[in-house]
Structures are given as C-alpha cells and as structure tokens.
A = this chain, B = another copy of it.
Amino acid sequence: MRYFLLIVALLFSKSFNAQTDQEVFKRLYKTALTNGKSYEWLDYLSNQIGGRLSGSVNAELAVAWGKQELEALGLDKVWLQPVMVPKWIRGAKEYAYIKSTTGKTTNVNICALGGSVATNPLGVEAEVVEVHSFEELTELGEDKIKGKIVFYNRPMQPDLIQTFEAYGGCVNQRYQGAVEAAKYGAVGVIVRSMTLRLDDLPHTGSMTYNNLPNEKRIPSAAISTNDAELLSSMLKLDERLKFYFKQNCQQLPDVKSYNVIGEITGSEFPNEYIIVGAHLDSWDLGDGSHDDGAGIVQSMEVLRLFKENDMAPKRSIRVVMFMNEENGLRGATEYAKVAKQKGENHIFSLESDAGGFTPRGFSFECNDTIFSTIESWKSLFKPYLIHYFERGGSGADVGPLKTKKNVVAGLRPDSQRYFDHHHAANDTFEHVNKRELELGAATMAALVYLFDQYGIAPNSYENH
C-alpha cells in the first residue's frame, strides 16, 4: 500500500506538476482579486451600454466595445464573425389589468415574452383559464378554452436546491405555452414569471410559435409572481373575471450582427483550441449584468490574466462573445459551423452563463476517461472553495461544439439568487458583487490553464 501511494505520488508530481500548478493558481487568483478588470468592464457594458437585445443599437455598441477592448489587450488576433440575427422589439411599455365581473379594474405588471406578437391595437380582453400543465390544458379542451386567455401558473419548485432545475421544470410554460394554448383556440397567454421570489417584476424570455401560421399566433406575456398569485386568488372568488392586456411588440426582418472573437495563438499546439465564452446579447428589461454581462467580462478576463502574468499558452486560447443566445442561438450555431468547416480542433470549450455569483465549480460534458482526469484536478481548487465537479449540461453556446472526444463545460456559480434577476428589470450592475465576479474569472482561468497544460489526449499527460 505504501509503495502504491508512493508510485501514485510520483506519477502525479511528474504528470501534473502540482507545485507549479499551485503557484499558477495562486498567481491567477491574486491577479484577478487585486488587479482585476472584469468589474470595471462590466460597469461600462451595463451602465454605459445597457440592455442589448439582438439586432438593437445597443447590441451593435456592445460588439464595437468588445472588439475594441480585446484589441487593447494585445491578443494575437481579434475579429468579428458575421451572423444574421432576429430583431424583435418590445415597442411601448405593456399594459394589463384584471377586470372583475362588477367592472372594477386592478392593474398588474406584465411584459411581452420575447418573440411574441402584439395584441391588436386595442388590446385583448377575455376570461381566464388557469392551468398548471399542458395535460390540464388537454383535459379542459377547446370547449373550456376557446376565446379565453390561458394563464399558466405552475410555480418553480422551491425545494429543489439547484434553482436551474426548478427553472427547467417550469420553462416549457413560457417557451411552448402559446403553441399549446393556440391548439384549443385561446386568444392570449399569460405566464407566471420564472422566479422563486414573490415580487412585482415580470420576467421575459424566449417563446416559440413553431410553424404556426401568422393568424394563429396569439400574444404571450409574463406576469409578476405577486400578480400571478393575485390573479389566481381573484379567479377563485370570481371565475368569470376578465383579463386585459395590450402590447405592441414586433418581429422585424433579420439583421446582420457579429460574434466577437479574440485569440492568443498557442506556442506548441496552435491547432488545438480552448475557448472561453459567454453571450454578448441580453434581454432588454435590465442591463443584462448577470445574464450574461458577467460571463462576458469573466471570459475576457481569462485571456487578460494570461497576458498579465506573461503566460504564453501551448494551445490557442480564444474568447468568444456569442451573439443572440437569448432568442435564436445564431451566434453559437455560426461559430460551430465555421469551426467545423475549418476543421478546428476545439479540445475544451467553457461557458459562463449562470450569473456572476460566487463560483462553486463546473459541469462537464465529456467521456469517462477525461472526466477522471478532471476529477484528479479537484484538490488544486480546494483552497479556492471550488468543490463542484459534476457531469451535466454545459451551456447553450458551447453545446454545438460538443464532439465524442472533446470537453465542453459550464461554470457553476451559486445559483440561489440567479432567478431573482433573470430576464427582469432588476438584472442590473449593483446586484453583481465585485469579488464574486472576480473569483469566477480566476476559477475559469485556472481550469483553462490546466487544459492548456495537459490537453485531452489520453497520452498527453505523459508527454508534458
């Protein structure tokens, strides 16, 4: 047993050079925490540019800003990758109220879902059917639904520890609610906001009409959780009350936009690519600080930390600011398509799109062999309180880069507060903590460093 441990220890110290790795980690964290730039960048992106929905002027400002900041870092290459993106605009502020059968009206807070059609110019007013699932909708059928507004009111499950799981269990109401309700002749859809909090803010997000012809598309809006509770209570007392809402959003023709890409070219294996990325677009209600300004500036910071510490990577490291994650994923699709065309070997792709909160670890998509190597790196992260190394989903933007051989992963920050802000007007700069943001950037840089050092080939650990 003792000899076995000795051999393991020797192998480990040879292949993973633990002392150097520890020193590099220390340097990366120290630089991020004492001389970081992510927070200053986020301040600009959030407060000087603000919300940046695909196709908007702000999105174009963000592209120009991203390119300029990457150029200022002195990377080996910086370029824009053109991509056509959808352009949906909210129009004037939405308006809604509940009207009791006695005629009394109570204003409520709603916002159009991204991609929704407008109501007619005078708005929609109809009785309401509250449901909690598509099954319930099917049971009610056309008889009970036709001519009415369907109100989806299944809350996120509060006893799930990981809030993304709770979100995953509810978001079909928002994304497919209109298609399902339209089947039975509903005239509109109101969806309980995807948040665990009870508050007054409606949370937008993408929705689909699939291939429904235009005349069958019904307007869809999110309602704040407080108002969802109110509406539900009022329906119990007055089931024939009416709901009125008006919105004049529209889908315009696609416009040209860009992914913003910067690269430090590898010294030994320039054709092996490691990318760190996030999405540059955001919803329009807040300034997109957590979703996903935080991920953008953390990804930029990873490359800056390498430059700042004179770390010349063996492999090519890219930062990719993906355009249009929120309502189309066109940027990620384009990036993956071009990478495939060029035969670029993306060995590791890391996304940060879960908010700028204290990092806890990563979620990996890869094969067993690679994962066991990754797990052996855990101890290096322990002093930084990074403990979560699990198999699981990576992220929407790096997903298209997944192959059988490579690794795609997502940063996993603490998720408890994420949906308090997600897609709502309070996704703003002051809700991002500087240290938490910086720790995330350092944690990403540390993992990128390990993949750069050791690669992912089965024998790469012996070679270096």
B435 touches A158 (CB 8 A): yes
Say yes or no: A416-B387 contact (C-beta < 8 A), given A158-B34, A159-B33.
no
CA of A436 to CA of B420, assembled, Å = 12
A439 touches B29 (CB 8 A): no
A197 to chain B, nearest CB (A): 7
A30 in contact (CB, < 8 A) = yes
Within 8 Å CB of A435, what residues of B?
Answer: 158, 163, 196, 416-417
A161 touches B384 (CB 8 A): yes
The B-contacting residues of A in range 210-249, CB under 8 angstroms, are: none
A103 in contact (CB, < 8 A) = no
A192 in contact (CB, < 8 A) = no
Within 8 Å CB of A436, what residues of B?
Answer: 416-417
Within 8 Å CB of A158, what residues of B?
Answer: 33-34, 435
A266 to chain B, nearest CB (A): 28
A18 in contact (CB, < 8 A) = no
A388 in contact (CB, < 8 A) = yes
CA of A197 to CA of B430, assembled, Å = 13
This chain: how many copies in the complex? 2
CA of A388 to CA of B196, assembled, Å = 26
Within 8 Å CB of A388, what residues of B?
Answer: 385, 387
A360 in contact (CB, < 8 A) = yes
CA of A33 to CA of B34, assembled, Å = 37
A433 in contact (CB, < 8 A) = yes
The B-contacting residues of A in range 173-205, CB under 8 angstroms, are: 196-197
B414 touches A159 (CB 8 A): no
A327 to chain B, nearest CB (A): 28
A319 to chain B, nearest CB (A): 24
Within 8 Å CB of A433, what residues of B?
Answer: 416-417, 420
Within 8 Å CB of A33, what residues of B?
Answer: 158-159
A434 in contact (CB, < 8 A) = yes
CA of A34 to CA of B388, assembled, Å = 25
- For A27, the closest partner residue in chain B by CB is B159
Within 8 Å CB of A121, what residues of B?
Answer: none
A159 touches B417 (CB 8 A): no
B197 touches A434 (CB 8 A): yes
CA of A438 to CA of B360, assembled, Å = 19
Within 8 Å CB of A162, what residues of B?
Answer: 385
B163, B385, B439: the one contacting A360 at CB < 8 Å is B385
- The residues of A with any CB-CB pair to B shorter than 8 Å are 29-30, 33-34, 158-159, 161-163, 196-197, 358, 360, 383-385, 387-388, 414, 416-417, 420, 433-436, 439
Q: A30-B159, A163-B435, A196-B435 are in contact. List 13 more A-B contacts (CB 8 A).
A: A29-B159, A33-B158, A158-B435, A161-B384, A358-B358, A358-B416, A385-B388, A387-B387, A414-B414, A416-B436, A417-B433, A417-B436, A420-B433
